[in-house]
Amino acid sequence: MNHSYAQSIRGKLSAFQKCQSQTNMVWLGIPNEDYQKRVLLMHTELPNNGTFEFYVKPGVYEVRATNNLGCGFLKTVTVENQALNLSAQLEDN
């Protein structure tokens, strides 16, 4: 979706079989190797195959997904002047 005030990161969450859960969290943060300098902007809880959209300024973000089974996903993305589509797949680690 096009918005004049923001770009967006639009995604769908899925999981390999042993990671499938109805309670997953997707986190949007500003990445930094130093834990103290990392910033959590927003997070949203959703079921397996659920979708989400974060509205953001152009910049670099990290999208994490975790669930109550201990599975995870992490991707650093760069948002420029168009919406970004993301497929977040939870994996056992």
Binding site for other proteins (CB under 8 A): 1, 3, 5-7, 10, 23, 25, 27-30, 33-36, 38-47, 49-57, 64, 66, 68, 70-72, 74, 91-93
User: What is the sign, positive or negative, of the torsion defined by CA atoms of 88, 90, 91, 93?
Assistant: positive
CB of 47 to other proteins, least distance (A): 6
Dihedral, CA atoms, 3, 59, 53, 37, nearest 10 degrees?
Answer: -140
CB of 30 to other proteins, least distance (A): 6
CB of 23 to other proteins, least distance (A): 7
Q: Edge-to-edge strand order for the sheet containing 24-30?
A: 39-46, 24-30, 59-67, 72-79
